[in-house]
Copies of this chain bind each other. A is one copy, B any other.
């Protein structure tokens, strides 16, 4: 028996569900409506379109076999009817109808459904400051706006740009402006760090330094308070609490929120922050209404809370699962771990699970292992340092998250994706110690970065390794009075360590090479806290263990060592 399936939203979850439904139930009547005229596009590709890496916006809404995914394509190839420029206005759950408006004609009509799928996605948060409606102020809400932005730049109208918001989209847009178009670009983020809540401070700061090296001015801890325009209503500047920044174009990228008005007005359960409540079969509190994609609340597999996971990839998976269930099968969405990766100029940054900061806030017995190993065999040409941080719970030994910062290749995503698979399964430090990364020198080290990070976590849990926080070390370097009894023990090669001894004096900085410690440890003062320093932290750990053994127990290891310091930058770096 044929059934009528109505889907609201035609970007990711909606089209995916529609196509899957037609494969499972080819005889069913499947209709997708969308208020936009452009549908089924890769929204995550917008920054790459703006910067020119993707030359034509049509590529973002084409299949891999180069057919544009428009209404005709869905009708002829998929048997799915698509009504564009059609907005859903009101659900009548008793009658099982949706009132819609044709945005071109203004005409309203009702569409009947047996099952309704809400795939309404998300929309940019609107910052409540004066001037956001000025000409030249954009949010990355859809392809039309992206086309307008690119058109403006291509016409040479943009010499200065301000991006408000230091999340992924803001950073990607800043790169697009600065890198390909040479626009003088400023990124403003009101939080104290980039990518807030996604990565921990050190990772955000390594990223910030790289953006600055690439001529993006980054202002963190600074709010945009007003967008300033000229008498013609064109944007000219962004005002913050501290300054006025000239801007021919302003990108507002302060986050997105679920589009769930239809659901709320129909009396479906909606989380306070806007996510539509669904069970793991993507069913809302009305059994005939499903929801999938950015508009829903997804279970977080680490925190156990409902969370917002606005990723095109999650939307696709949820769309398929919703379709399976709508079609009469059983398919379950287990939840999300929050995997994230992005390109930023010549670097890649990624994360999965939760950050250390989040883990502390959530009440975990949180700790972290900060490491800075080679991203493949250290003797293989082109290898580079990547920084990883494994976040874990000391009580249960469960791994809670992994963050990575490395070169612009897939070395970070290899570890992030593997970690995501493990974390979703509730994996412990032991699982990370033994996970079998394929080994060959062009791809990995014999001790892979993910195993190495777990070893550090294991050593921390066993209290074999005692570390000092990077920011505490920085504070000491700013002013030695902050930790009057500290003494740096630099175990790197003499040629690296000696300049520091010469600059800071032997009462603050001692140099004994790693391989001489066993012979020379008697030179070390017993009344000081020794902060052991090397490139990555691994040699420092060995030295700490040895010094414990000979009775010098007052030592701390700077995890990540100079590999991390060099990526963070410091005035005192020689």
Chain A residues near B (Cβ < 8 Å): 12, 16, 19, 22-24, 26-27, 42, 44-45, 48, 53-54, 59-60, 62-67, 73, 76-79, 168, 311-317, 320, 332-334, 336-343, 348, 350, 352, 373-374, 377-381, 408-411, 413-418, 420-422, 424-425, 427, 430-431, 433-444, 446-448, 451, 455, 464, 492-493, 514-519, 534-536, 539, 541-542, 545-546, 548-549
Residue of B nearest to A536 (CB): B64
Q: How far is the CA of A373 from the CA of B352 in the complex (A)?
A: 24
A420 contacts across to B, CB distance below 8 A: 418, 435-438
- Are B422 and A514 in contact (CB-based, < 8 A)? no
Q: How far is the CA of A410 from the CA of B455 in the complex (A)?
A: 24
- Are B446 and A341 in contact (CB-based, < 8 A)? no
- Are A373 and B313 in contact (CB-based, < 8 A)? no
Give the contacting residue for A343; candidates B79, B333, B442; CB below 8 A: B442
In the assembled complex, the CB of A278 is this many whole angstroms from the nearest CB of chain B, namely 15
- Are A317 and B539 in contact (CB-based, < 8 A)? no
Q: How far is the CA of A438 from the CA of B342 in the complex (A)?
A: 9
A78 contacts across to B, CB distance below 8 A: 542
A446 contacts across to B, CB distance below 8 A: 12, 42, 44, 312-313, 315-316
- Are A76 and B518 in contact (CB-based, < 8 A)? yes
In the assembled complex, the CB of A448 is this many whole angstroms from the nearest CB of chain B, namely 7
- Are A534 and B42 in contact (CB-based, < 8 A)? no
- Taking each of A79, A340, A348, A440, which has the highest tally of chain B beta carbons within 10 Å of its own beta carbon? A440
Q: How far is the CA of A534 from the CA of B442 in the complex (A)?
A: 33
Q: How far is the CA of A336 from the CA of B437 in the complex (A)?
A: 10
Give the contacting residue for A59; candidates B16, B337, B379, B545; CB below 8 A: B379
Q: How far is the CA of A574 from the CA of B417 in the complex (A)?
A: 38
In the assembled complex, the CB of A539 is this many whole angstroms from the nearest CB of chain B, namely 7
Q: How far is the CA of A534 from the CA of B67 in the complex (A)?
A: 14
A455 contacts across to B, CB distance below 8 A: 320
- Are B436 and A313 in contact (CB-based, < 8 A)? yes
Residue of B nearest to A63 (CB): B378
Residue of B nearest to A373 (CB): B64
Q: How far is the CA of A79 from the CA of B442 in the complex (A)?
A: 31
In the assembled complex, the CB of A169 is this many whole angstroms from the nearest CB of chain B, namely 11
Residue of B nearest to A426 (CB): B425
Residue of B nearest to A380 (CB): B48
Residue of B nearest to A539 (CB): B65
Q: How far is the CA of A348 from the CA of B444 in the complex (A)?
A: 13
A379 contacts across to B, CB distance below 8 A: 42, 45, 48, 54, 59-60, 62
- Are B421 and A339 in contact (CB-based, < 8 A)? no
Residue of B nearest to A420 (CB): B436
A338 contacts across to B, CB distance below 8 A: 436
Give the contacting residue for A65; candidates B67, B416, B535; CB below 8 A: B535
A410 contacts across to B, CB distance below 8 A: 409-411, 413-414, 443
Q: List 8 A-B contacts (CB under 8 A).
A: A23-B542, A59-B379, A77-B515, A316-B446, A334-B434, A341-B440, A343-B440, A425-B425
A549 contacts across to B, CB distance below 8 A: 26-27
Residue of B nearest to A60 (CB): B379
- Are B414 and A519 in contact (CB-based, < 8 A)? no
- Are A350 and B438 in contact (CB-based, < 8 A)? yes
In the assembled complex, the CB of A300 is this many whole angstroms from the nearest CB of chain B, namely 11
A315 contacts across to B, CB distance below 8 A: 446
Q: How far is the CA of A313 from the CA of B376 in the complex (A)?
A: 12
- Taking each of A437, A438, A451, A519, which has the highest tally of chain B beta carbons within 10 Å of its own beta carbon? A438
